[in-house]
Structure 1
Amino acid sequence: MIRTLIVDDDRLVRLALSDILADDPGISVVAQAGDGLEALDLASTRSIDVALMDVRMPRMDGIAATQRLRALPRPPQIVMLTTFDLDQYVYDGIAAGASGFLLKDTDPAEIVRAVHVVAEGQAMLHPAAARRLVDRYHRTAGGRVRDAAARIGRLTPRETDVLGLLADGASNAEIAAVLGMRESTVKSHVSRILAALEVGNRVQAALFARDAGLHPAPPPGDGTGR
């Protein structure tokens, strides 16, 4: 059961999201909060796996709340939901540690899927948000390419292979199939990759890989005649 927290200053939005998630037997909405401060209080007293987080709220906005929640000893995964498709929100949300970014008019089935995806340690971005994020990184490249290459240099060859596939959008199961390893081994590699790159989630790791020009390695024997 994925224990979920809904954070939004609009009570009707909270109720609507709760109704959407209630239809999935694998998700339980365990709490609702009207702002970031209330979300922090709730997360400190109960176990939360995923938080659906609004951006613009009184007292503490979603960006600051995401950063604080991700700093907890057992941090929840964060999916940011907003009506505002703006570059700065996407960039700041991912930098704060969010693993998902969706618009509130996203199809309800996609919101449910996002909860499952990020609960498994994956990332899920609205296509427009993903494009904006990548464009922003390309525009501000500078010395970040050198920094990304240096950090990736800390990885083992196998971890580099995993990172290349991760950056290409592959799930843990897909990476395991391509590289011929157990999915649990892939999860261990991903944890070490995040620590080595000093990032908080797969989205940030993927951006480091793109900065460094890392491309996924082909499957063993792919196109080589072996």
Structure 2
Amino acid sequence: MTRRRPEVVAFDVDETLLDLAPVRATLVELGEPAPLLGTVFARTLLTGFAAAAVGSWCRFRDAFDAALAQETGFSADQRASVADAFGELSPHPDVEPALRRLTEAGVRVVTLSHGSPGVAEAGLERGGITPLVERSMTSETIRAWKPSREVYLWAAGLCDVAPERMALVASHGWDVLGAGRAGLTGAWFPRRERVFPAVYGEPDVAGADLAGAVDALLALPPR
């Protein structure tokens, strides 16, 4: 399929737009090494993906709590304090110019997460970039997890565009894979992941950084 310049660009939230530094700092304050966050975050996704694969569902916060319980000796109150730190996230420095580049080009910008409601909105507000984002969506609304196809189709429906007129930008290969399988244009760039997983094939669009991914989307042929 020949990909065209999208009318709407959805952004993943955790890590892609928002820096998880406050969550990492809370782990350190409670006596755990900073790199543990990567393990906990991966186990959180594994928990959510497994639940979705068997036709069940759980909230992101509950999956995160379960991951912390498996990886640490934290009490329930300590685990809650780590989860609460998601409400303190701020955008990475490269986010504002990337979103502004899209909006100035006439492209609608939204966010699409499977995280807890309010996290994206709080982070965008903290970064002063709420006016650049038309809508924030979380798949908790439909009790599903990305990369399930239904999540991306639901998001396109809410934005009143056909899937092929929407793109998803994420620093997670599995998210880009899911978007592409649902008919969206998947755009990947590295943050914590160094390379796009070869087992997924090639993403529709890739950039060396967030700005590069956005530029590549804008360089696609017009409709």
State the TM-score, normalized to the length of structure 1: 0.32
State the TM-score, normalized to the length of structure 2: 0.32
Structure showing greater radius of gyration is: 1
